[in-house]
Chain A
Amino acid sequence: DGGITQSPKYLFRKEGQNVTLSCEQNLNHDAMYWYRQDPGQGLRLIYYSQIVNDFQKGDIAEGYSVSREKKESFPLTVTSAQKNPTAFYLCASSTLPASGANVLTFGAGSRLTVL
């Protein structure tokens, strides 16, 4: 079945450590996104990418980094510079144009907890 796979589902990190969240899709979608979800908040956009080797910052990119070396993959690194990284992270993808009526398909998410 086509879809988006995020791993790991749960991740614990010590303060000061970088951690990378994986996102893989087999939907042949060009656009991919990372969102952060906090309790009582909506989703906030971290980064998005429309083509390989290109990506743009979203609203809350500070302390995060991404890469897009393959169409299918869009890993997110949460760096030690991220002040409050404990959150639920959602990866999504869509066809192009990545705007208008196009619907996002989401993965099941990764829960990051900083100890």
Chain B
Amino acid sequence: AQTVTQSQPEMSVQEAETVTLSCTYDTSESDYYLFWYKQPPSRQMILVIRQEAYKQQNATENRFSVNFQKAAKSFSLKISDSQLGDAAMYFCAYRSAYGSEKLVFGKGTKLTVNP
């Protein structure tokens, strides 16, 4: 079974600075998808970014980018120019490309942004 590990329960960053959240996963599959979801204090989960394993190029969405290292099974999220609104729980998630409906989530990292 696949597992997702987020080794940083909490992180903090100064406003306008850059922060990187770590995620590693364990799988024997060669094709899969990886996601970062954000859960702000409102508790509604929002997709931040997604990566397809067969694509070498790291995904980018505005200030959010990933460092996808397939061989190392690592999928870190970099937030540039951090804003107060970035404060949230961030969850890394894995989904198989082989007909699986299930998203496997990590336990999350709580990000605090200091003004």
Q: Which residues of A contact B (CB under 8 A)?
A: 31, 33, 40-45, 48, 50, 56, 58-59, 88, 90, 92, 97-101, 103-104, 106-109
A12 to chain B, nearest CB (A): 17
How many A-B contacts at CB < 8 Å in the complex? 61
Q: Are B103's CB and A45's CB within 8 A? A: yes
27 chain-A/chain-B pairs, Cβ below 8 angstroms:
A33-B101, A40-B9, A40-B107, A42-B91, A42-B93, A42-B106, A42-B107, A42-B108, A43-B91, A45-B102, A48-B101, A59-B102, A90-B43, A90-B45, A99-B99, A99-B101, A100-B97, A101-B33, A101-B50, A101-B52, A103-B35, A103-B47, A104-B45, A106-B45, A107-B44, A108-B43, A109-B43
- The residues of B with any CB-CB pair to A shorter than 8 Å are 4, 9, 33, 35, 42-47, 50, 52, 91, 93, 95-108
